[in-house]
Amino acid sequence: MDFYQVNAIENWTCANLMEYYRSKTKQKDSKQIFDRIKKDLQEVDDSKSFDTVKKRRAREILDNWKVQYVL
């Protein structure tokens, strides 16, 4: 979840998320990484700790999930 705290919202892209999660989790399986990203984005969207702009961006990514993340 650190990614969402320390990165500017314009850096919340599929490529940046994948790179960050791969480096932190050391997983190679893209499906597992996408599942983790999706779960964390849902947490951001539901959290009271994040501001509305970040919550809105997380919701946008989730709403477009299937379109954006087809491998």
Tokens representing 70? 């087809």
- Residue 64 near residue 19 (C-beta atoms within 8 A): no
Q: In which band, very low, low, confident or very high, does the pLDDT at 15 lie, cut at 50, 70 and 90?
A: confident
13-31 as b/e: b if 16+ CB within 10 A: eeeebeebbeeeeeeeeee
Query: Among residues of the chain, what percentage have pLDDT more than 70?
Result: 92
Model confidence at 35: pLDDT above 80 = yes
- Summarize the confidence of residues 33-44 as an average pLDDT: 92
Q: Does residue 69 or residue 64 have the better pLDDT?
A: 64
